[in-house]
Copies of this chain bind each other. A is one copy, B any other.
Amino acid sequence: SQNVPITVASGDGIGPEIMDATLRVIKAAGARIDIEEIEVGEKVYLRGISAGIEPSAWESLSRTKVFLKAPITTPQGGGYKSLNVAVRTAFSLYANVRPCVAYHPFVDTKHPGMDVVIVRENEEDLYSGIEYQQTPNMMESLKLISRPGSERIIRYAFEYARSNNRKKVTCFMKDNIMKQSDGLFHKVFDEIAAEYPDIENEAWIVDIGAAKLADTPNAFDVVVMPNLYGDILSDVAAQIAGSVGLAGSANIGEGCAMFEAIHGSAPRRAGQNLANPSGLLLGAVLMLVHINQPEVATAVHNAWLRTLEDGIHTYDIYADGVSKQKVGTREFADA
């Protein structure tokens, strides 16, 4: 079958190293892809280009509609528009799917058996980027929640649960304070949940829901929530499962998708063959499923699991008693 064109950006900091590792692994596993490389991130920002991405790079994304993106660095100082948010918005990537899984005993965790998927709304909420300076001393940011936006992310969560054999969808929101915005999200959740009688549903106020997630993640399965809660709580969930360094993320829209690690570009670790490529590699696994090469996805995922099981790991993940070989980025990819 034919190769699928994908757009790839190696990003900043540890980005190039983990992208190299990721591409080597998926190619070795037989991924049928044609790569268009684009440059995004710090250097592009510093050339004065909005959101750190050139018009030619936008064209590549519009053509391939599949984007594998390494972490980038936003330059210090104000005024830089987030690349992530720009791409999510431009292609209406409304669903951000973040599986947070424990790999006990190969990666230390206090929550063995954890297997939670955060489905984060990815376009609305305080990410609208609309802010006003009301007076010299008063800043205002707009939180926007729409019915269509809520409907499609919540329906996505239930469809995801159904097609991935998951039993429950939980909604987090704060409608005792944000009666209109989070109230709408909660209302839509109840409406759509009623269409899926085969799937359990429950709604929690985000404060106590987050507490329970951090303490007893095994009580959750698929959790759907507005953008900002999802941003914070997917980092929490990934970290307590083992490490934010192990979580990949899919940003899904109608015709387009972006895949990434959830961690940052860790400039201080760059260029030392130290970084863990697992987050981006698991992002690539999600991509391979998306471009309809599930057998390659499975091969990569199994090889990765087997490497961990063999006790081969990068500096950042600990597994007392299992570790046999602490290796660099390249050697981890080789294994």
A139 touches B184 (CB 8 A): yes
Select A236's contact among B82, B110, B141, B236, beta carbons within 8 Å.
Answer: B236
Q: When the two chains form their complex, are residues B140 and A78 in contact, meaning their CB atoms are under 8 A apart?
A: no
Q: Mark A212-247, 1 if CB is under 8 A from B, else 0.
A: 101100000000000011011111101110001000
Chain B residues within an 8 Å CB radius of A142: 140-143
Q: Residue A211 contacts which of B183, B211, B235 (CB distance < 8 angstroms)? A: B235
Interface positions, chain A 36-80, Cβ under 8 Å from B, are 74, 78-79
Give A134 to B184 CA distance when docked, in angstroms.
13
Q: A126 touching B177 by the CB < 8 A rule?
A: yes
Shortest beta-carbon distance, A141 to chain B, in Å? Answer: 4
Residue-wise interface mask of A (101-137) relative to B, using a CB-CB cutoff of 8 A (1 in contact, 0 not) = 0000000001000000000000000110101111011
Evaluate whether A181 and B214 lie within 8 angstroms (CB atoms) in the complex, with A74-B176, A82-B176 already known.
no
- B-side contacts of A23, CB under 8 Å: none
Copies in the complex: 2
CA gap between A229 and B232 in the complex, in Å: 9
For A137, give its contact among B82, B147, B177, B210 (CB under 8 Å): B147
Interface residues on A, range: 35 or more
Measured CA separation A231–B207 after assembly (Å): 6
A window 286-313: CB within 8 A of B:
none
Whether B174 pairs with A133 at a CB distance below 8 angstroms is no
Residues of B within 8 A of A229 (CB): 232
Q: Which residues of B contact A93 (CB under 8 A)?
A: none
When A236-B236, A239-B214 are in contact, do A177 and B143 touch as well, CB less than 8 Å?
no
Determine if A232 and B206 form an interchain contact, defined as CB atoms under 8 angstroms apart.
Answer: yes
Q: Is A148 an interface residue (CB 8 A)?
A: yes
A residues bordering B, Cβ < 8 Å? 74, 78-79, 82, 85, 110, 126-127, 129, 131-134, 136-148, 174, 176-184, 206-208, 210-212, 214-215, 228-229, 231-236, 238-240, 244, 264
Task: Give the 4 A-B CB pairs with smallest separation, nearest first.
Answer: A211-B239, A131-B180, A211-B235, A137-B147
Interface contacts beyond A139-B183, A210-B233, A229-B232: sample of 12 additional A-B pairs, CB < 8 Å, sorted by A: A78-B183, A82-B177, A126-B143, A131-B179, A140-B144, A141-B143, A141-B180, A177-B228, A206-B232, A211-B240, A214-B236, A214-B239
